[in-house]
Structure 1
């Protein structure tokens, strides 16, 4: 998952996510290939209907992908 390295870790939770959910997401990303660089660890998936491409945030920037965030997360 993408993080800035300055995470606030609370008891059993990281930014309102359970530790179990964070671990599951990391394990899933380890198996997911980035459409831009081809390496594993891509934790961001395109939100466009019908698109299943995944990528790393730095790769998305290099490929000029649109990165917009809505809602809280």
Structure 2
């Protein structure tokens, strides 16, 4: 079971193709870690950050979400 952490709001810029402008979204972030097995050891190698508008309650199937892949260096 994962430990719960109260969410914080973040600002993230994104490109809006409809208006052809760079905009900022204030939203909540959910991190989904990606682990890989390398030489019989499990290693954290990245995460997918899903950013949803602050006024939304659900993450899944949201067309207004921003998906941001990341990696561990």
Q: Same fold (TM over 0.5)?
A: no
The structure richer in helix per residue is 1
TM-score after normalising by structure 2: 0.25
Structure with higher Rg: it is: 2
The structure richer in strand per residue is 2
TM-score after normalising by structure 1: 0.25
